[in-house]
Amino acid sequence: MSSRRLCARRFFRRSNCVRIAVAVHGYPPAAMGGVERVAFEQAEALAQRGHDVRVFARDASGPGPDGATREESVGRVRVRWVDVEATARSPFSEYYEGDFLDGAFRQFLDDVQPDVLHVQHLVTLSARLIDVARTADVPVVLSLHDAYYLCHRLFLVDADGERCPGPDGGLRCVGCLSEHGVGEAVRDRFDAMARRLAKVDAVTAPSPSLRQRYEVELPFLRDRIEIVEPVLAWLPAVSSRDDRRDGEPLRVLFIGTLMAHKGLDVLVEAFERLPNGEFELTIRGEAVAGAEEWVAALRERTEGRAVRWGGAFLASALDEVLARADVLVVASRSDESWSRVAREARAAGLAVVASKTGGPADWLRDGEDAILVESGSVGALAAALLRLRSDPDLRAALTAPATDLPTVADAAVRLENLFARVIDAPHARAEEAAPRVSVAYVTKDGAAWLEESLQAVRAQKGSFELVEILAIDSGSTDHTLEVLARYGARVVQIAAEEFGHGRTRNLAACEANGDIVVFLTQDAAPANEQWLARLVAALESDPLCAAAWSLHVPRPQCHPMEWRMLSEHPPFLPGSPAKQTGRGNPAYAADPGSECSLSNNSAAYRRGLLLRRPFPDVSFAEDRGWAREVLDAGWRTELVRESIVRHSHSYSPWGNLRRNFDHWRSLAEDLGRVDDFSLTQGWRASLREARRDVDFWAGHTGQSRAEVALRWAVPAAAYHLGAFTGRWLGSRTRWMPRGVPDRLSMHTIPNRGGSKS
């Protein structure tokens, strides 16, 4: 941090004044949308509490080129307007991470020297403003107001205004945004926004529903989003409607932008089903560019009905608009993130009928202070209005003005406390601090290979801090403990019967001191000095990457059968996708079991995620079982081909039978996989695989096929026969006598009382 910035922060902290920079896509009086009003109200409230608030806001009508700026005072706040031309941008990435404002925003931060940046909204600006703030060592608090960071259309709706179930890792956006003509490149937006949200110091949302939506799509945000309601700067005047005479029409009001996702067409169609003379509808709002024909068609449909199109209105006219209505309808197809107008209506004593989605459903109680209906349901909306018309007792209950609505002063206090926390936190940004890494082993009698592995770990180089080598040992009787001690490993000892592949690694995660835990098996050795740095970099570069694992290469002593198995392992084949994801992956949807590869022979994990989502306590393949869970939850895994470990076995036919027995037993009992492979198929496959081994080894070594066959044909056939027999047996343990499976297993069976390790 520069000495100038440090001195400025100390001065303002001593004077109980925080210098707050605000970035927003629009600001009154130039723009009067919902988010713009929230930004204005919160900035004014914070300034009134003694803080120095400066705003960086877009002026869509500015005369200059992109990035041209000018300043003026608006209320208590100094605003730097930046001109951003409203035009189509190319390439598509210019819409969300163009660099056209970098210089102007960097100059703004340098002039203001803020203690904290509050990002209210970046639509029409650029997500790169977050990068600029991070480079300037300014803590960033970002407020979510809608689905902008998940959806280019802001509201998780498609081109027709219909509700979108979610971006599906960006896959669904490809077709939805086809008008931009960039195909698969649209998916990059999802990842770019995820990276920016991972960089900020704190995130707020106006409602639990919006918080949940982001946590589902971007699971790294779980437990990081704080609810800060925008609330109201002032409460509308309560209008008395007691003088309304029986028989008069029920006055229905719609307020909002005239766009398809707001559901105005649903309301118009519902109104057509209502009896003439018993209802009046007033529509207030204006259409956005591109929706003119849609609005004109709705206007035509309402001709001859008791419908008044009143257009937009100034905030100062809100009391008058609400006083002329009995019920407000919020008919949104999409999830409203908060709904200011619903709160204003309840404060003024209007009944509210709202879609059962998003922010309104978070705080409106059906039948107590609103009627909630299914989103997009014309029949349900018409029935709700008829019910209000015919039931005066219900209408009286729903029109009792809400009195417990918080004010903007409450939001200002919450923001003030949040700003203080991020300012007082260590100023080293996460991307600048070296990741803290624990390398963890699960050991027992591993002295034969362990020294080579530990020596390679100690030789690692890169931008990380290796805080420890940790080993969980389950009763070694050879020289394992001595080898660990020579390399400074911290050892936690457990009894052999306590061992379990998942549970023991969960213990290691709990014991570890690093933020990243890298598991190595005792017989796996890093093959180069960048093994660890590459794994760490994969986690650091992608906030959705839950685990990164290494490419395996065989040891020189490996026999041809294992060598070929590693060489032809599908994830290791050239051209195979490095990243695996459940979202936006049709192959995963078709067969999740084949799309969740991960190996704890060498894999790096986020420790915080492991503590929240531990390995399953299973007999085998705890890594793949965990991968299935995190992929379902929206995370990713990545095979890092530049991170290489030497790891292979030279199993005998009996050892291969036991290994495959454990593998297929786990798939059947723990993951529910059904296998109808027969022993006859196994015999035939053994011969076929032996022939492939001979061909592979002849090509690999340059020997003749006859030479290789003479040496390896029979061992290869026996080896594969062991594998296929183990597969057949492991898939059928439910029919075996008690105790037989445990005698066949080569591993501890933690869930079934086994004792082998």
| Of 265, 272, 430, the residue nearest 331 (C-alpha) | 265
- Of 752, 744, 717, the C-alpha closest to 655 is 744
| Distance (Å, whole) CA 106 – CA 51 | 21
224 in Cβ contact with 204 (< 8 Å):
no
- At residue 418, does pLDDT exceed 70? yes
- Rounded to an integer, what distance in angstroms lies between the CA atom of residue 260 and that of residue 287? 10
Q: pLDDT for 595-611, tens place per residue?
A: 889 999 999 999 999 99
The shares of helix, strand and coil residues in the chain, as percent rounded to the nearest 5, are 45, 20, 40
Cβ count near 58 (within 10 Å): 25
186 φ/ψ sector (left φ>0, alpha ψ -120 to 50, else beta): alpha
Q: Give the mean model confidence (pLDDT) for residues 21-42.
A: 92
The residues near 403 (Cβ < 8 Å, ≥ 6 apart) are none
Q: What is the pLDDT of residue 15?
A: 54
Mean pLDDT of 568-593: 89
Q: Kindly report the CA angle at 484 between 510 and 475, in degrees rounded to 5?
A: 70
Scored b (16 or more CB within 10 A) or e, 505-523 reads bbbbbebbebbbbbbbbbb
Give the Cα separation of 722 and 658 in Å (integer): 8
Q: What is the pLDDT of residues 720-734, one digit of tens each?
A: 999 999 999 988 888
Q: Look at residue 425 in the predicted model and tell me its pLDDT.
A: 82
In CATH, what class is 250-398? alpha beta
With respect to CATH, is domain 436-650 assigned 3.90.550.10?
Answer: yes
pLDDT band at 316 (very low <50, low <70, confident <90, very high): confident
Residue where the block lists tokens 């002039």: 111
Query: Would you say residue 315 has pLDDT above 90?
Result: no
Please state, in angstroms and rounded to a whole number, the distance separating the CA atoms of residues 194 and 203: 13
Beta strands in 10-119 (DSSP E): 19-24, 52-59, 69-74, 77-83, 116-119
Q: Are 72 and 30 in contact (CB under 8 A)?
A: no
pLDDT tier for residue 575 given thresholds of 50, 70 and 90: confident
Q: 3-state SS string over 294-323?
A: HHHHHHHHCCCCCEEECCCCCHHHHHHHHH
Residue ranges of the domains in the chain?
A: 3-149+202-227, 250-398, 436-650, 666-744
Average pLDDT over residues 740-746: 86
Portion of the chain with pLDDT greater than 70, in percent: 93
pLDDT band at 246 (very low <50, low <70, confident <90, very high): low
> For position 239, what pLDDT does the model report?
58
Query: What is the CATH superfamily name and number for domain 3-149+202-227?
Result: Glycogen Phosphorylase B; (3.40.50.2000)
Q: Are 373 and 270 in contact (CB under 8 A)?
A: no
Q: Decide if pLDDT at 56 tops 60.
A: yes
CB 520 within 8 A of CB 457: yes
Q: Is the pLDDT confidence value at 754 over 50? A: no
Strand runs labelled E in 235-313: 250-255, 279-284, 307-309
What SS3 class is residue 641? strand
The residue behind tokens 């059947």 is: 668
Beta strands across the sheet bearing 307-309: 307-309, 279-284, 250-255, 327-330, 351-355, 371-373
Question: 325-358: per-residue pLDDT in tens?
Answer: 999 999 998 888 988 899 899 989 999 999 998 8
> Would residue 206 be called left, alpha or beta, if left means φ above 0 and alpha means ψ between -120 and 50 degrees?
alpha
Tell me the pLDDT band of 463, cut-offs 50, 70 and 90: very high
CB neighbour class for 631 (10 Å; exposed up to 12, middle 13-18, buried from 19): buried
Max CA pair span of the chain: 105
Q: What pLDDT score does 230 carry?
A: 83
Please state, in angstroms and rounded to a whole number, the distance separating the CA atoms of residues 459 and 469.
Answer: 13
Give the bridge partners for 119, in sequence order.
23, 142
pLDDT higher than threshold 60 for residue 756: no
Residue 297 CA to residue 265 CA, distance in Å, equals 10
- Min mean pLDDT across 133-147, 234-248, 453-467, 742-756 is at 742-756
Confidence bin at 755 (pLDDT 50/70/90):
very low
- CA separation for the pair 256, 386 (Å, rounded): 23
Total-model pTM: 0.87
> What does the alpha-carbon distance between residue 613 and residue 372 come to, in Å, rounded to a whole number?
35
Tens of pLDDT along 120-130?
Answer: 999 999 999 99
Q: Are strands 279-284 and 250-255 parallel, antiparallel or unpaired?
A: parallel
The DSSP code for 266 is H
SS (HEC) of 150-197: CCCCCCCECCCCCECCCCHHHHHHHHHCHHHCCHHHHHHHHHHHHHHH
Average pLDDT for residues 645-660, to the nearest whole number?
90
Report the chain's mean pLDDT, rounded to a whole number.
Answer: 90
**Alpha carbon distance 735, 752 (integer Å):** 15
Residue 465's alpha-carbon distances to 437, 487, 498, 514, in angstroms, are 6, 16, 31, 9
Whole-number pLDDT of residue 34: 85
DSSP tag of 594: G
Best CA proximity match to 596, nearest among 612, 577, 614, 609: 577
CA 731 to chain centre: 36
Q: Do domains 3-149+202-227 and 436-650 have the same CATH topology?
A: no
Token pair for 575: 């051209």
Per-residue confidence at 371, pLDDT binned at 50, 70, 90?
A: very high
The torsion defined by the Cα of 124, 127, 133 and 138, in degrees rounded to 10, comes to: 100
Q: What angle do CA 283, 285, 286 make, to 5 degrees?
A: 125
pLDDT above 70: residue 757: no
For range 382-409, the mean pLDDT: 88
461 dihedral zone (left: phi>0; alpha: psi -120 to 50; beta): beta
Which amino acid is present at 196? R
Q: Residue 229: which residues within 8 A CB-CB, separation 6 or more?
A: 206, 207, 338, 406, 410, 411
For 480-529, how does the pLDDT look when each residue is reduced to its tens digit (9 = 90+)?
999 999 999 999 999 999 999 999 999 999 999 999 999 999 999 999 99
Q: What contacts 355, CB < 8 A, 6 or more positions away?
A: 263, 330, 331, 332, 333, 336, 361, 372, 373, 374, 375, 376
Separation CA 430–CA 26 (nearest Å): 30
CA distance 356 to 335: 9
Would the CA dihedral through 309, 390, 342, 148 be positive or negative? negative
* For range 73-102, the mean pLDDT: 92
Q: Is the pLDDT of residue 561 over 80?
A: yes
**330 touches 293 (CB < 8 A):** no
Q: Is residue 742 very low, low, confident or very high in pLDDT (cuts 50, 70, 90)?
A: confident
Helix (H, G, I), strand (E, B) or coil at 743: helix
DSSP class of residue 634 equals T
